[in-house]
Amino acid sequence: MSQRPDWSRPPLRPAPVPRESDAPVRVLIVDDSTFMRHVITRELTADQRIAVVGAARNGIEAIAMARELQPDVITLDIEMPQLDGLGALPRILEACQARVIMLSSNEGIGRANTVRALELGAVDFILKPAGSISPNLGSIREMLLRAVHNAASARVRRTPAAPTALVAPRKMLSSGGRMPARRLVIIGSSTGGPQALTAVIPHLPADLDAGVVVVQHMPPGFTTSLAARLDDLSAVPVREAAAGDTVMTGEVLIAPGDHHLCFIAEGGALKIKLDQGPRVHGVRPAVDVTLASAAEVAEGRVACVILTGMGRDGTAGAAAIHAAGGWVLAQNEATCVIYGMPRCVIEAGLATEVVPLDDMAGRIVAYLNGAARKRVS
């Protein structure tokens, strides 16, 4: 990535209109299907805390209505005629301060486009029901309502329209040239995580003296697309983890959706173990599971990074890392989309440092180089 997001620059869009805490969340629905617009409206308006203020049939209408209505939240379909959701998203974010939730299909191109949308500033996504026409959205009603309410409290972050890879040598080391990692960096994230990860992983150097494991709350398949996108942007190789993988120096592994990721110490190396044990905090993979496993086997050679996300996943794991003599970084409130996971870590007194997102990669490298060891209160 040749240029980092600059949170200090004023957004090129109207200032948000303050919304009373007890006022309903104003939602704009964008979908080319009349039936889907009707069903989404029906599901949302069943909640008295939500008001549907409009419905658009394509990206062109969505941009105009976003500018006119200034909604709090927009549900945005990806596949639409004239202008699709991915093309409309940057212009919508310029037109208003709405938080955008993508409606995605669980297919190869749909997953890749969803990851790209999250990178560009969408705060969340939900999967559309299987099939071109579904009799109702009852199967995702709870997810839809939760996503809208969570999005209403999220921050909107500006990001470059077309992130590019760093102008640094990429993937100079072949898999045969890398060594089993002596040190481990674990990054945990949830809502807002894909965008945050594009501000961290591409800024790690190709000669990073540690293995990196990322636990991002995502369904199966989407973590594959996330790994591919980060690999395109980064100097370090990035791929989805597989059972039996050895954690290698200068390589990033993404925990696969619907699997907890743990570690096994074997012959002086750390190997990946995947399982589908019970969900923790309602998610799988869970950050706490991976951190607790690392604290047991890595003998204090672990740094953990807790990025934006809803809930408290990562707090118990950070406590285990802290107790084992590891190092804990937490993203600061001002740069989080959702200040939940980092806040819990910070309020528990576990953070070695509280770091703005744009500085996170530099602080990881500083820790590995021995320049940042002092705990902060």
Rounded-to-integer distance, Cα 301 and Cα 24, Å: 48
Rounded-to-integer distance, Cα 363 and Cα 366, Å: 5
Rounded-to-integer distance, Cα 31 and Cα 35, Å: 9
- Which of 217, 260, 281, 322 is an active site residue? 217
Q: Under DSSP, is residue 111 helix (H, G, I), strand (E, B) or coil? A: helix
Q: Are 119 and 197 in contact (CB under 8 A)?
A: no
Rounded-to-integer distance, Cα 194 and Cα 230, Å: 9
The position carrying tokens 């959702």 is 338
Residue 23 — φ and ψ, nearest 5°? -75, 150
Cα dihedral angle (119, 121, 124, 128), rounded to 10 degrees?
-80
Q: Are 62 and 88 in contact (CB under 8 A)?
A: yes
**313 an active-site residue?**
yes
**217 an active-site residue?**
yes
Q: How many residues does the chain have?
A: 377
Count other Cβ atoms within 10 Å, centred on residue 13. 18
Q: Give DSSP secondary structure letters for 51-71.
A: EEEEEESSHHHHHHHHHHH--
Q: Are 197 and 230 in contact (CB under 8 A)?
A: yes
Q: Are 330 and 351 in contact (CB under 8 A)?
A: yes
Kindly state the helix (H) or strand (E) to which residue 99 belongs, with its residue range.
strand 99-104
- Which of 105, 190, 225, 293 is an active site residue? 190
**2 an active-site residue?**
no
- Which of 31, 72, 288, 313 is an active site residue? 313
Q: Which residue numbers are catalytic?
A: 190, 217, 313
